[in-house]
Amino acid sequence: METKKGTILMQRYEIGRFLGQGTFAKVYHGRNLKTSQSVAVKVIDKEQVMKVGLIDQIKREISVMRLVKHPNVVQLYEVMASKSKIYFAMEYVRGGELFNKVSKGRLKEEAARKYFQQLVAAVDFCHSRGVYHRDLKPENLLLDETGNLKVTDFGLSALCESRRQDGLLHTTCGTPAYVAPEVINKKGYDGEKADIWSCGVILFVLLAAYLPFHDNNLMEMYKKISKGDFKCPQWFPPEVKKLLSKILDPNPSTRISLAKLMENPWFQKGFKKIEVPKTILTRSKSIIDIDNAIKFMDTPTGSYNNLKELDDAKASLSNSPSYSSFSPSSSSDTLKPTSMNAFDIISLSQGFNLSGLFEDDTGNSGPKREARFTTKKPPSAIVSKLEEVAEMERFGVMKTVDGTVRLQGSKEGRKGQLAIDAEIFEVAPSFHVVEMKKLSGDTLEYNNFCNQDLRPSLKDIVWTWEGEQQQDDEQHNN
């Protein structure tokens, strides 16, 4: 489908004026047909990103944006896909880039501090969710109609799981003038400390309207960055100069932390920390759409030949029971199912699984990275049992904001520590499906753990494991 003004996208959004473009994506203003809410629709050319091997980057961007729901971060509402395009429906931020404001001249101290406070608050929240942005700069900071800052463009971001066994990130990325010296040196870096450096460069730019490290020769600029060789202009307040010397410290081990930075007296002036609700097992309709858009609306080679077959499959399931998952209630201990489109239940059927775009190993042979079981127990009992198993097997437990329970192994295996996500879905009030998926570690070790430790320990709550019900029925019929 050609994306142009007036196009109706997936019967959900009307495409409006063109807003801008990058190498593989174009951004349009859009309108939600049901609510009339303005959105920004990012249209990604799937063939191009697959050709240059950027599918993992798209996956990472989706994974990151679903984790970071904060007032100072641009929100991702929904992900959709057609045969040739991937669509992000995102928060529409009307005020444009902070870069445009700085390009007109330096900001007053109060304005610069306000933007810096909002930037640091957003980055601190991202770090608390294990997300490192890695490309912070004024061009990636937007302003809404009330002048509040919004961090955007998580295409180069990393999750804490991306760290190697040395606990560091190793991908050299970012914009040269804003990148930390340890990133340039290619010896591994702490994602948090690298983001702090970029925040410091941004603060300098807001107050000076020029870069602290600049040279027409890129190598000379890198030398200045590596030495932390910069000079504050005379109009900088003394407390800002002192703070910048702690942020733009070329030694990451002595560079100020975000916690200490946020305690700084200059930073604290007028700062009101936004309390973001801490949710447990959060699961919303939009997140389900993000999970399933590529699986069920895309048509990779070897699956459906055209979208009509997919529409027919949807129609055939229109009378199926609704398939739900969790969102938080007022009490963090009480889980309340959120209604989902019945079509999502297709994910349980291999015949309808169209997840080829986002899956590395679609073959049926070899060790499996996923397992499912059904249970008639309530969510609280499922979570309690998983926590009991984790304690028994010396696994750590984390309940993530995207609706999963994560089991994190403490032992080093052949491919690092084993990490498993357990996602709970409600098919009916007294019937749940739990999907176990290996997040990291060795697949063979994961299978051994599932078969020898996990399955026997969960037998009290399991009704049937995937495939066993069918085998039992066949034996009964025979």
Which residues are designated catalytic?
135
| 206 vs 270: CA distance, rounded Å | 18
Helix axes 191-208, 109-128, angle to 10 degrees: 170
Q: Is residue 42 annotated as involved in ligand binding?
A: yes
**Secondary-structure breakdown of the chain: helix, strand, coil percentages, each rounded to the nearest 5:** 40, 25, 40
Query: Whole-angstrom Cα distance, residue 110 to residue 125?
Result: 23
Instruction: Look up residue 75 and give its DSSP letter.
Output: P
How many other C-beta atoms are found inside a 10 Å radius of the C-beta of residue 217? 8
Cα gap 298→293, rounded to integer Å: 7
Q: How many residues does the chain have?
A: 478
Can you tell me the distance from the alpha carbon of 71 to that of 36, in angstroms, rounded to the nearest whole number?
21
Binding site per annotation, positions for ATP: 42
